[in-house]
């Protein structure tokens, strides 16, 4: 069985670090118990968002005792908040001006998982992903099928495009030329200013040590219609193993998908040198795609 230290080292090498969240957790014992093996909920955001996400997440967990309820409630905070332009309602749209969402959920004790991709007009994508996990034997539902599944379970169709997001998209469209195709414009600084992304992972451990996680996002701004990143892919945007822990990813999904083989390499107990070489190769691939950042 992998050791906790190895697991944390792997997260560190892949850039998955939550120091600000740990500080926020330490400051508020009302929703964060202390001590090894005790229940815990984390999120992949700075202190500002941690204060928004974690209290309702912990309250939902305390009310039901189900860690899935806790991480879902925390993720819903971002999905419903238009201030977050990278998740759910208010997320920045694709090249057509359409907001589409990706989300995944996984439960460590059973390895059960569910995800949705290219889901339109539904605010709480992670809640739909949970229903995929709990009410079907599927792992992923996409596009029109995901929308129909959500509507069948009572989710209302709603416009996800806020006025702020529409104006940002309009500015982006006005600065494209017929020569841009699907590549970034020559002015990288301008593109970086508009190209916002975020995603959120909410990870938790319940009363009996059961581990679970959620990743939810609206994806890359200006993406090709139908593009799917790493977030709904189990093993790329999210993975949970009760014997090891939980990990979620944020950043450019294409690079995470290309380099997801790092995790099985570490699980095979390959040497530190092999792991270091793997990370360097991943970094090189990232640099080669630097213009996307």
Positions marked active-site? 199
Please give the full DSSP string across 16-34, using - where no structure is assigned: ---HHHHHHHHT-TTS---
120 touches 145 (CB < 8 A): no
- Residue 176 C-alpha from the chain's centroid: 28
With a CB cutoff of 8 Å and minimum separation 6, the contacts of 111 are 240, 241
192 touches 293 (CB < 8 A): yes
74 touches 57 (CB < 8 A): yes
- Residues listed for the chain: 293
- Token output for 94: 């694709």
Radius of gyration of the chain (CA): 19
The kind and range of the H/E element at 47 are helix 47-64
Question: 10: how many CB neighbours lie within 10 A of its CB?
Answer: 21
Q: Is the sign of the CA dihedral 34, 36, 37, 43 positive or negative?
A: positive
138 touches 115 (CB < 8 A): no
């Amino acid at each position: 069985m992998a050791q906790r230290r190895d697991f944390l080292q792997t997260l560190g090498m892949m850039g998955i670090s939550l120091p600000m969240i740990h500080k926020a957790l330490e400051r508020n014992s009302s929703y964060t118990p202390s001590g090894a093996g005790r229940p815990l909920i984390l999120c992949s955001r700075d202190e500002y968002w941690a204060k928004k996400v974690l209290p309702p997440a912990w309250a939902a967990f305390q009310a039901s005792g189900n860690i899935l309820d806790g991480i879902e409630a925390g993720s819903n905070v971002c999905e419903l908040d238009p201030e977050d332009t990278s998740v759910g309602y208010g997320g920045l749209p694709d090249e057509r001006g359409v907001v589409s969402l990706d989300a995944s959920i996984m439960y460590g004790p059973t390895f059960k998982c569910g995800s949705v991709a290219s889901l339109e007009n539904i605010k709480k994508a992670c809640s739909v992903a949970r229903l995929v996990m709990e009410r079907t034997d599927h792992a992923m539902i996409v596009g029109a099928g995901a929308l129909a599944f959500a509507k069948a379970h009572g989710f209302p169709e709603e416009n996800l495009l806020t006025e702020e997001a529409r104006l940002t998209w309009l500015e982006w469209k006005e600065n494209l030329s017929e020569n841009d195709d699907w590549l970034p414009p020559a002015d990288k600084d301008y593109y970086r200013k508009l190209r916002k992304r975020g995603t959120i992972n909410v990870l938790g451990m319940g009363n009996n040590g059961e581990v679970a996680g959620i990743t939810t996002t609206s994806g890359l701004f200006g993406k090709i219609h139908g593009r799917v990143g790493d977030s709904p892919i189990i093993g790329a945007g999210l993975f949970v193993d009760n014997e090891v822990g939980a990990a979620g990813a944020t950043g450019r999904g294409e690079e995470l998908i290309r380099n997801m083989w790092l995790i099985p390499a570490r699980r095979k107990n390959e040497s530190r040198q092999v792991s270091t070489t793997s990370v360097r190769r991943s970094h090189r691939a990232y640099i080669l795609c630097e213009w996307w950042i």
